[in-house]
Amino acid sequence: MNPTLETIGLYLLRVAPALLLGAMMFALFRREPRVRIVLYLALFVLLRDAMTPLGLWTFGTEGLFWIRLHRDPWFLGLSGLSCVGISLAIYYLDRGNQPLFKWTRGKLSHGLAWAIAGMMLVVAPLVVAYQFTDIGSRGGSVPSRNIPAILVFALGGNLFEEALFRGYVYGQLAEWTTPIQAGISSGVVFAFCHIYLASTVTGIGYPLLVFTLWEGIVAGVVGAKGGVIPATLTHGGAIFWLSSGLI
């Protein structure tokens, strides 16, 4: 069998029972749009965390926190594009929650400026620290042929993530508080949704939670200022630089 198809098949087999149960939950709460947001988050955590035991990505703290992705570029590319499809499907099909969701806020040029600044702010502490840590101690080098696929995976996968946290979660929080407070709070929720990944799925613990809290708050502020697309560029861009071995 084609290695890419085999990897995808193993992954789908792993998550299929939970997806079936999730479909039953959506049917049960089809008239409750806000409950659906909770279900989106729960299923997202499932889909993300199921990647770890299958070796589809790797984290480590030897010397410093680092991340590396699967070595099959076709799998990475298809996964990223699938996440784009899921994000668009949720947005267009879930009309009850659509008013919470903003692709952009204000001028697009301002949003892009916030996105770039946010990405640099997320990676800056690790970029500095990486200069004192050999790349072999933080995941090793990455084949150059994988770089385009890593970019597709990082942007597509994190569009799905940002659609949830800087789209629906932020939109709900913004009904109760100020935009910046909602953005920061969405970052706390984002870090909270990494508890199992940090503490049970892996044993990384504090380093992963500290990083996701920092990343989530920065992306939350960017989302408050510019919307989901700029927040995706911040988040996806940061993950690209950290997982590509280019820094």
Q: What is the pTM of this model?
A: 0.94
For residue 207, the tally of other CB atoms under 10 A from its CB is 15
Q: What is the largest CA-CA distance in the chain?
A: 54
**Cα(36)–Cα(85) distance, rounded to whole angstroms?**
18
**Cα(88)–Cα(238) distance, rounded to whole angstroms?**
22
Q: Going residue by residue through the chain (247 aa), what tens digit of pLDDT does each one get?
A: 688 889 999 999 999 999 999 999 999 998 999 999 999 999 999 999 999 988 899 887 665 688 999 999 999 999 999 999 999 999 999 999 999 999 999 999 999 999 999 999 999 999 998 888 888 888 889 999 999 999 999 999 999 999 999 999 999 999 999 999 999 999 999 999 999 999 998 888 888 999 999 999 999 999 999 999 999 999 999 999 999 989 8
**Cα(211)–Cα(152) distance, rounded to whole angstroms?**
22
Positive or negative torsion for Cα 37, 41, 47, 48 = positive
CA 101, 149, 231: angle at the middle one, nearest 5?
A: 25
Instruction: Give the list of residues 6+ apart from residue 245 with CB closer than 8 angstroms, or none.
Output: 68, 135, 139, 140, 141, 142
**Cα(111)–Cα(177) distance, rounded to whole angstroms?**
21
User: Of 144, 120, 130, which Cα lies nearest the Cα of 247?
Assistant: 130
- The strand pairing partners of 60, in sequence order, are 66
Give the DSSP H/E element, type plus range, for residue 135: none
